[in-house]
Amino acid sequence: MLHGPADVVVEARGLSKRFGDRVALDGLDLQLPRGEIFGLLGPNGAGKSTTLNLFMGFLQPTAGTARIAGLDCARESRAVMRLVGHLPEEPALFENLTGRELVSFVLSMRGEDRPERWSEVAVSAERMGFTRELDQLIAGYSMGMRKKLALVTALAHDPAVLLLDEPTNGLDPVVAREVRSLLEERAARGVTVVLSTHLLDVAQRVCHRLGVIVKGRLRAVGDAGEVCAQAGGVATLEEAFMALTAAG
């Protein structure tokens, strides 16, 4: 590995995105080291998904840069995508394939269709209670199953960075807990995880650090205690969230 444990893997500098007059993201500065789980918090439409889409290179920033492992996300998106496992908020999947066929497709497109990847797939599917459904047609999947499949797909090639939009949304509590522990294990192996969520307890339990985005601006960043302090010294994350949202 080129980077030491303290190296910055995910980085944003003055990252901004406007859609017409609407400012979706305004001057985001962020540095995430290897092995960190970072939670993006914020109300609906705050700019969480826009941030992740900028890191994926789906959107062109209006100003500033987004970098992953030193690569410019907008200009070198192909190389970035090789490093990243991505979970979209509403995973649109190829309905006419089975789950296993989709995973196989994604792995072959990445040139990673190897037995050791499939053993990883088997493990993550097993832990999410998803083994049997892997061989069913995606068209018949429920929302939760789609989410699970998209997660399995995002984890399949053992990426260095995980960009996850609402990873535990729509999952039952047992599976959500498994997902959290999967993420923690990956982080312990040096994977940097950025997840967006509006579930405060998820954020608090699993993330090393949190960033609260309101109306495109990063209002607070740090661990739960620091966020509370930045919100005016409130006691709980919920109060901090309320205070920051109201202030925005």
Partner 1 sequence: MSGPTVAAQGRALLRMSMQGVVNSLRHRQGAGALVVFPLLLTVLLIELARFGAKGAEGVRRFLAVASYDRGTHFVALWLTVMAVAVVALKYARAIPGRGARPLFDTILFRALPVSPVTRTLFELLLGSTHAAGFVALVFSPALYGIITLRFHGPRAVLITVVISVVFNEVATLVAHALHALISRYLGGRPLDIVRVVTASVGFLLVGAFSTLGPIGVGFARRIRVGRPAPGWSESLPFWGLVRWARFDDARELSDLALWIAALVLLSVAALVWRVRAPTDISMDGPSAPTGAGRWESGLSGARVEWRMLSRQAPYLVLATPAFLVFFFAVVKGARSATGADLPFVTLMGLIGWSLIVQGTALTGAASRRWRRVLWILPTAGRDHRDAIRSLAKAHFAMTVGLSLGAALPWWFSPRPLWWWYPRQFLGMVLVIAVGQWAQSAALFLLIDPSPDRLTGLSVGGVFGVLVTAIPTVALLVLLSATGMPTWLSLVALLALLAWSLESSAVARLRWIREPTGDPDAALRVWPALRSFGVAGLAQVVVAETGEAVGLGATRTLVLSLLVFSGVLLPLAWRGAKTHSVEAKWSLPRSVATGALVGAANFALVLGVARLLRPGAGGGSPLAAAFTQTNGWVLAAIVVASTTVIPLAEELFFRGWLMPAVRREVGDARVAVALSAAVFAMVHAGAAWAPALWAGLIAGALMQRSGRLATSLAMHVTNNTLVVLAVLLGR
The distance of closest approach from Cβ of residue 139 to partner 1 in the complex, given in angstroms and rounded to an integer, is 5
User: Contact with partner 1 (CB under 8 A): which of 41, 68, 106, 160?
Assistant: 106
Judged by CB under 8 A, does residue 115 bind partner 1? no
Q: Which of 7, 8, 13, 101 binds partner 1 (CB under 8 A)?
A: 101
Site for partner 1 in 172-231 (CB under 8 A): none
Q: Which of 1, 6, 78, 132 binds partner 1 (CB under 8 A)?
A: 78
Give the C-alpha separation, 82 to 86, whole Å.
Answer: 10
Cβ 163 to partner 1 shortest distance, Å? 9
125 lies in the site for partner 1, by CB under 8 A: no
Q: Do the Cβ atoms of 87 and 163 come closer than 8 Å? A: yes
Considering only residues 29, 95, 126, 172, which one is a binding residue for partner 1 as defined by CB under 8 A?
A: 95
Which neighbouring-strand residues pair with 87? Answer: 164
Tokens, residue 21 = 């007059």
| CB-based contacts of 77-81 (< 8 A; 24+ apart in sequence) | 80/55, 80/56, 81/56, 81/57
SS3 content of the chain, % helix, strand, coil (to 5): 40, 25, 35
| Amino acid letter for position 221 | V
| Minimum distance of partner 1 from residue 37's CB (angstroms) | 20
What is the rounded distance in angstroms from the CA atom of residue 202 to the CA atom of residue 231? 19
Q: Which residues bind partner 1 (CB under 8 A)?
A: 17, 19-20, 24, 50, 53, 56, 58-60, 78-79, 81-82, 84, 86, 88, 90-98, 101-102, 104-106, 108-111, 137, 139-140, 143, 150, 153, 170
